[in-house]
Amino acid sequence: MTRTHGEWKIGRRALHYGERTLVMGVLNVTPDSFSDGGQFLTLDGALAHAEQMIIDGAHIIDIGGESTRPGSNFVSADEELCRVIPVIERLANLPLPISIDTTKAEVARVALQAGAEIVNDISGLRFDPALAEAAAAANAGIVLMHSRGTPKDMQQIPFADDVMADVVEGLQTSLSLAEQSGISRERIAIDPGIGFGKTVQQNLELIARLDTLAGQFTDLPILIGTSRKSFLGKLLDGAPADARLYGTLATEVAAVLNGAHIVRVHDVRAAVEALTVADALHGASQ
């Protein structure tokens, strides 16, 4: 399919999407994230990892202080802030933008004041609608992700009968909330939420039919996050999180060829190389 092009306005700048895939590097400063929990809890460790991702070619650094793995519990805003703000403050002067991965308005507000330019909300404003007001006040970019339930129960609640229809309806609701709070569409990206309340087959369907989603939201960049997720482990004979790189790359390339503009990844260098080739293939097909 022909991938749309445009500018995603975020904070103090705009990111051009469509000509190349933007790579968002994951920096979890949590003790319990499913893939890298506890690895970057110290400030020095977090900063060193961020610097390595920049060297490897990341375009955005996404910092999270609360795990959203299946079965996880929420942490307090104070705890989340203690984890993320020192890192954001130290990285705020870098030449690439910082994203705060949070569902809480209070955390978003302080993170944006500290230098973040994007809010990545896995709830699509379901958990804390005031988060939209915080993003609007800072002229921040925002990622609205589709999810079902909460991280605690998302794999126990009934799954959608029609996953594509459920995702489109959920994202349309999130977009309405964002726009009602003063966020312009040029500052919004969307994410179908791979792994968040979906079956293995539904995750595959969303990637394979991503062009359908792109056709519904032609003026918005689409972010995909498949990196190391459990559905890949199920497809790869129970491979643990740190052994899912090749499966991850396959889904990322497929997503880009089907219309994705941004990928959220743990393994930046591998993703950058694979997606450089995918972008070239995409361009050659036009």
Q: Residue ranges per domain, the chain?
A: 6-284
Catalytic residue among 229, 234, 244, 269: 229
Residue 1 has a pLDDT of: 67
- At residue 211, the pLDDT reads 96
How open is the CA angle 225-261-220, to the nearest 5 degrees?
A: 105
| Contact of 24 with 60, CB cutoff 8 Å | yes
Instruction: Report the distance separating Cα 151 and Cα 265, nearest Å.
Output: 19
DSSP state of 193: -
pLDDT in 10s for each residue of the chain, 286 residues: 678 999 999 998 999 999 999 999 999 987 744 444 445 568 888 899 999 999 999 999 999 998 776 665 778 999 999 999 999 999 998 889 999 999 999 999 999 999 999 999 999 999 999 999 999 999 999 999 999 988 777 778 889 999 999 999 999 999 999 999 999 999 999 999 999 999 999 999 999 999 999 999 999 999 999 999 999 999 999 999 999 999 999 999 999 999 999 999 999 999 999 999 999 998 887 6
pTM (predicted TM-score): 0.94
Give me the residue label for tokens 């312009």.
184
pLDDT score of 154: 72
Q: Does 12 participate in catalysis according to the annotation?
A: no
What is the Cα–Cα distance from 161 to 163, expressed in whole angstroms? Answer: 6
Q: What is the pLDDT of residue 32?
A: 47
Per-residue pLDDT, 33: 45
pLDDT for 273: 98
Long-range contacts of 163-169 (CB under 8 A, 24+ apart): 163/198, 163/202, 163/205, 163/206, 164/205, 164/206, 164/209, 164/212, 164/213, 167/192, 167/193, 167/206, 167/213, 168/213, 168/216
Distances in Å between the Cα of 24 and the Cα atoms of 8, 143, 231 are 14, 12, 20
Burial class of residue 45 (count of CB atoms within 10 Å of its CB; 0-12, 13-18, 19+) = middle
Can you give the pLDDT at residue 40? 54
Residue position matching structure tokens 């988060």: 131
Question: Would you call 244 a catalytic residue per the annotation?
Answer: no
List Cα–Cα distances, 271 to 48, 70, 152, 264, in angstroms: 19, 24, 29, 9
Among 3.20.20.450, 3.50.50.60, 3.20.20.20, 3.40.50.300, what is the CATH number of 6-284? 3.20.20.20
> Which pLDDT does position 243 carry in this prediction?
96
* pLDDT for the residue 44: 86
